[in-house]
Homo-oligomer: A and B are copies of this chain.
Amino acid sequence: MHVLLVEDDPLIAQGLVAGLELQGFTLDHMAHARAAEQALQLGHFDVMILDLGLPDEDGLQLLTRIRSQGKDLPVLILSARDTVLQRVAGLQAGADDYLLKPFDLRELAARLHSLLRRSSGRSSNLIEHHGLTFDPSSQAVQLHGEAVNLSRREQALLAALLQKPGHILSAEQLQDSLYGLGDGVESNAINVHIYNLRRKLGSDVVKTVRGLGYRMGVPHEPT
């Protein structure tokens, strides 16, 4: 799960990055509207957290411009402005949710999950795929009712693949989804994690599409 965080207060940003990464999100943090807009052009994000009080531009203006470009990524506004009119203005500018500062990290996480669920067209928080279930909010994986112990990277990889079942994801896309845009790995780390996933969930969980990337497949049969 790749989150673009647009927030100028370094303290809040730092807390959010740490807290949400613990919950399995991958964050890229920008402190200015300009930088955020560039980041959006550069890579793919699953959701944006937008602070309204930015130094170089009002968050609503940024949001409006993003929407006018046809981008439809879910946007959650984070703001201290609490009047009905301001909240309505936020939603009308194209936000999908509006959370007040100060906020509770658990609620923010739950709302992010809810937005992601909706944007990926699912009806429930639980992702189910041929006997394999993954709960993004609790980060628990089960295969045919049996709990499976996955490491952080393995979980992130599985989540990225499950988010778009049927789609082919290139190694680069997966890398962005696991590490964020800035610092990636310089080796076949993704490759190795895929291999480990297959050892735990069956060699067919992930299909290789030679030259293009990987795609979700069918896991182990029940024993």
Query: Which A residues form the contact surface with B (CB < 8 A)?
Result: 67-68, 70-72, 74, 84-85, 87-88, 91-92, 94-97, 104, 106-107, 110-111, 113-114, 117-119, 121-125, 137-140, 151-152, 155, 164, 166-168, 209-212
CB proximity of A217 to chain B, nearest CB, Å: 12
CB of A68 within 8 A of CB of B124, answer: yes
CB proximity of A121 to chain B, nearest CB, Å: 5
Which residues of the partner chain B approach A91 to less than 8 Å between Cβ atoms? 107, 110-111, 113-114
CB proximity of A92 to chain B, nearest CB, Å: 6
CB-CB nearest in chain B for A87? B107
Number of copies of this chain that the complex holds: 2
CB of B97 within 8 A of CB of A97, answer: yes
CB of A210 within 8 A of CB of B152, answer: yes
The 10 nearest A-B residue pairs measured at CB: A72-B123, A152-B211, A91-B110, A88-B110, A138-B167, A67-B124, A84-B104, A91-B114, A84-B107, A139-B168
Which residues of the partner chain B approach A71 to less than 8 Å between Cβ atoms? 123
CB proximity of A171 to chain B, nearest CB, Å: 14
CB of B114 within 8 A of CB of A96, answer: yes
Complexed CA–CA distance, A211 and B166 (Å)? 29
CB proximity of A153 to chain B, nearest CB, Å: 8
Complexed CA–CA distance, A67 and B127 (Å)? 12
Complexed CA–CA distance, A122 and B71 (Å)? 9
Which residues of the partner chain B approach A95 to less than 8 Å between Cβ atoms? 114
CB of B74 within 8 A of CB of A87, answer: no
